Amino acid sequence: VRVRVDEAKCQGHARCFALVPELFAVDDYGRSSVIGDGSVPAALEERTRLAIANCPEFAVEEIPD
Amino acid sequence: VGLTRTAAVADWTSDFDVLDPGYVLDPFGIWDELRTRFPIAHSDRRGSTWLPTRYEDVTAIAHDVEHFSSLQVAVIPFDGTPPSDPVLPYGLPPISSDPPLHTWTRRLLLPWFSHARVGSYEAMTRALCRRLLATFADAGAADAAGHYAQQIPVRVVAHILGVDDALADTFTGWVRDVLEFADDPERRARGVRGLVGYFLAEIARRRIDPGEDLLSMLLHAEVDGAPVEESLVLGTAALVLIAGVDTTWSAIGSSLWHLATHDEDRRRLVAEPGIMAFAVEELLRAYSPVTMARVVTADLEFGGCPMKAGDKVLMNFPAANRDPAVFERPDTVVLDRAVNRHVAFGSGIHRCAGSNLARMELRVALEEWLAAIPEFRLDPAAQVTWAGGQVRGPRELPVVFPVPGARATGTAR
């Protein structure tokens, strides 16, 4: 599974970062991004699903294979 | 609440009043009814105003900044005064502005409320909470709103702005005058006068002797090679205080009210501190304190409603967060609710700039309260009072609790 943060949608709620700090980073302006290429280790998959489901801007998305 | 309140509401779909005492106390049933029957209600009581209650509508309006401007964000309009104030010609940017002014003024503020920066405020917040708790933990009774919740955010924000936290109660008074008593022209004018006079003096002082604080940074910032206009600095500084005080205080107070009235939830949160991060989001969802307004920029039809240029729309984030189309069992607090796409901090470009700070303050305030006073309940001999309108939360929250080390006396469990 791979995910990304849509920069145009992200408004800096930081819900993804709070749920999976191993996978998401936030900058000084609150914008989130994925660390690396967004590949989700199996151990983080469940929490990453929550990050997708909790983003108020629908900015965290799974990248289709 | 205030003085000049209006007649009883007969029909909430066409004549709602957000200052109706029953609505302030318990708006949830009214929202449920409106959401089903008339999802965008209307009222002419304080100028032509629309009240959406569905998550889908509220978030759509929040994202349509072209048709729904932030030039007027006050839920209680100030006697129709247009935003042509000579002292605050831009209002309180970025909250009361649209792009492009919104974009760069917000960019100045955001780093002061970043995740990393907020982390650096946590130790002082925790120490503050402990100091406050020490003043009443042995008393067996306290006003959890006035003695605790109200005292926390104002001091954290004073620290960030670099202003004297000995004036905390004065700041709180001004903020309440502006937000909570906005329909009382005298109180509102007193609050504005107080805030403007205070910050103008602080600005003058920092021009000579700048510090490491947010106010000094705003004064000495350059945007496109030019300093920021003083009226913008003034408005932004006032915004940080106004937006940072009532709101978080209300979230802390409502959360403590919930825990005082729901024994199972309170005991679960004490027993399972690992769910605190989820509990904070859930309490923010269920008791979202803040409603903002927008002003319609041009006649349009939205959701079947004929909106006219100049109409107000109340961004009912608290009702959106109780929408059963988005949240299972929306009226039940589920402390470890895993899927919780709430919009307590708004959505779109005006997402609360202080959301990281508010979350930290709420979490630390609850952790420290529960560590010191794990068992507490409403004082059966006293009254809880609530404020509403722009910001909903308890203003007096009398609770009783057992005193550590003392024998149980029967006054509290």
Q: Which residues contact B89 (CB under 8 A, 6 or more apart)?
A: B83, B231
What pTM does this model have? Answer: 0.95
pLDDT tens series, chain A, 65 aa: 999 999 999 999 999 999 999 999 999 999 999 999 999 999 999 999 999 999 999 999 999 87
**Interchain proximity A53–B345, CB inside 8 Å:** no
ipTM of the complex model: 0.97
- A11 to chain B nearest CA, in Å? 6
**Using a CB-CB distance cutoff of 8 angstroms, which residues of chain B are in contact with residue A55?**
341
Q: Do B114 and A28 touch (CB under 8 A)?
A: yes
Would you call B291 helix, strand, or coil by DSSP? Answer: coil
| Model pLDDT, residue B1 | 42
pLDDT of residue B185: 86
- CA-nearest residue to A55 within chain B is B341
Measured in whole angstroms, the distance separating CA B347 from the mean position of its chain's CA atoms is 15
CB-nearest partner of A55 from B115, B117, B341: B341
Helix (H) or strand (E) holding A32, with range, is: strand A32-34
Cβ-Cβ contacts under 8 Å, A17 against chain B: 115
- Asked if A50's CB is within 8 angstroms of B338's CB, the reply is yes
Nearest C-alpha in B relative to A28: B111
CA-based nearest distance A30→chain B, Å: 6
CB contact under 8 A, B348 and A11: yes
Q: Quote the CA–CA distance of B289 and B278 in Å, as a whole number.
A: 18
Tell whether B340 is within 8 A of chain A (Cβ): yes
List Cβ<8 Å contacts ≥24 apart for B228-235. B228/B108, B230/B203, B231/B87, B231/B88, B231/B89, B231/B90, B232/B90, B232/B93, B232/B105, B233/B203, B234/B87, B234/B88, B234/B196, B234/B199, B234/B200, B234/B203, B235/B88, B235/B90, B235/B91, B235/B92, B235/B93, B235/B96
B 145-204: CB under 8 A from A: none
pLDDT in tens, B215-253: 999 999 999 999 999 999 999 999 999 999 999 999 999
Q: What is the helix (H) or strand (E) element at residue A27, kind and residue range? A: none
On whether any CB of chain A is under 8 Å from the CB of B413, the answer is no
Asked whether B233 and B215 are in contact (CB, 8 A), the reply is yes
Which of B113, B347, B356 has its CB closest to that of A11? B347
Of residues B342, B347, B356, nearest to A57 (C-beta): B347
CB contact under 8 A, B355 and A56: no
Contacts of residue B376, defined as CB under 8 A and 6 or more positions apart, other chains included, come to B144, B259, B260, B266, B399, B400, B401, B412
Query: Quick one: closest CA in A to B112, which residue?
Result: A28
In angstroms, what separates the C-alpha of A16 from chain B's closest C-alpha? 11
pLDDT tens digit string along B95-107? 999 999 999 999 9
Residue B57 identity (one-letter amino acid): D
**Cβ–Cβ gap A53/B114 under 8 Å:** no
> Which residues 91-130 of B are in CB contact (within 8 Å) with A?
107, 110-111, 113-117
Average pLDDT, chain B: 93
Residues 13-52 of A with CB under 8 A from B: 13-15, 17-18, 26-30, 50
In this prediction, residue B180 carries a pLDDT of 86
Chain B: nearest CA to A31, how far in angstroms? 10
Alpha-carbon span B125 to B28, nearest angstrom:
32
Contact B339 A13 (CB under 8 A): no
| pLDDT score, position B412 | 46
Distance from CA of A25 to the nearest CA of B (A): 10
Grouped pLDDT means (10 residues each) for chain B, 413 residues: 68 96 96 97 95 98 98 78 67 92 94 96 98 97 97 95 92 90 88 93 94 94 92 93 94 98 98 98 98 97 97 98 98 98 98 98 98 97 96 97 69 46
Q: Which chain B positions have a beta carbon within 8 Å of A11's beta carbon? A: 347-349, 351
3-class DSSP state of A63: strand
At residue B78, what are phi and psi to the nearest 5 degrees?
Answer: -90, 75
The predicted pLDDT at position B91 comes to 87
Contacts of B343 in chain A (CB under 8 A): 56
Does A11 touch chain B if contact means CB atoms closer than 8 Å?
Answer: yes
Measure the CA–CA gap between A23 and A16, rounded to whole angstroms: 9
SS3 content of chain A, % helix, strand, coil (to 5): 30, 25, 50
